[in-house]
Amino acid sequence: MTSSKDGEPSSLHKSKKQKTLRQGYIYDGQNRITTWPEEQIRHYISVSTRHLILSVLEQYTADLSRIESEWTYITTHTPDHLKSKLPKQLKLSVNGYQYLTRKMTQITLHEPNLNTREQYDFANASFIYDSNPKQPVFIASQSPMPSTITQFWKMVWEWNVSTIVMLSVVREKGDVKGCRYWPKEGIVSYGQFEICVVSKHAVCPHYLVRSFYIKDRISGSSRTLTQFQYKSWNDVNNTPANLPSFLEFRRKIQRSNISCKTPTVVHCRDGLGRTGMFILLELALRKLVRDGDKIKELDPCALLEFLRDQRPGLVSNKQQYQFFVGAFCEEVHAMMKVTDESGKHGNQLLLKLQQQLLA
């Protein structure tokens, strides 16, 4: 199967395979055909939780300027207790990007083959924590560039990453937007690591799934990991071009990580906008599933503030924040498809809010 430079099936094959791809078939590196069924919503929301969610979302339906007010607050306000208690910010420059990071979440890499494990380098990436302050759930990262591919794979290896979420493409309308940090074919070495693509699945026109094999030549040990690449979210558009495919993409990742105990790497060009929006949506939905009837509050603004405390600048603009609220409504809507009156009211409210936010 021939491919274009950013990993899409070439135009020669698109016309022949488009129908098959829409039906959910996938193609691996040896052109064998298998099926990948559509991901279903697997979580149920109780009546009490539904009432809480609807009471929060009704506020947005009644006053859409709430999005503007919350975004203004997020971008201009830092609570006094955060100013006094949090460690100082570090101002770093990697690949020409000036960015701020918190000392407590900054990822530090190590010199290979040293018993002392002496710290020696930074990556433009930050740990993102959820409910457990000792266990990061994500690593928010800038996409690798030629000078930092080895750093990137070292980070993946040292933190035992099994899933990478790529929210960008290598080329966009002929312009270079990043670099391919995996080989087109065969095995490629980056520092002490050998990387090989085991398979590639063209699930639909909007995203790809790849399986990588990585070997540490110093220790001789090896692992496999999965990369999910979403292609329909370019630098021009602040939000994904296709909401259903983006939510399907998220569900596949969630299912793949259902028993994973190590952080998932999420990266885009700057490691802030697209990366932040994806993590914000994922953590908001995880909270619903994890807390269930015990959930006391749902505050999207506070959640984003919590994330920006860990990596300043996550979610780049108001459009992305507004899209998050709409995408959250869509997933909640899918969870709330029940036959009782509460469910019917919730469906109507969520559909109305989606139309307003995603128009």
Q: Two tokens at 168?
A: 């960008």
Q: What's the chain's Rg over C-alpha atoms?
A: 21
Would you please indicate which residues are annotated as catalytic (active-site) residues?
268
Q: Are 51 and 340 in contact (CB under 8 A)?
A: no
The neighbouring-strand residues paired with 195 are: 188, 214
Other Cβ atoms within 10 Å of 25 Cβ, number? 16
What is d(CA 272, CA 262) in angstroms, rounded to the nearest whole number?
Answer: 21
Q: Two tokens at 196?
A: 């090989």
Q: Are 58 and 50 in contact (CB under 8 A)?
A: no
Residue type for position 349: L
What is d(CA 15, CA 5) in angstroms, rounded to the nearest whole number?
Answer: 18
Question: Kindly report the CA angle at 286 between 243 and 333, in degrees rounded to 5?
Answer: 45
Residue 68, classed as helix, strand or coil, is helix
End-to-end Cα separation, the chain, in angstroms:
38
Which of 244, 177, 162 shows the shortest CA–CA distance to 211?
A: 162
What is d(CA 305, CA 299) in angstroms, rounded to the nearest whole number?
Answer: 10
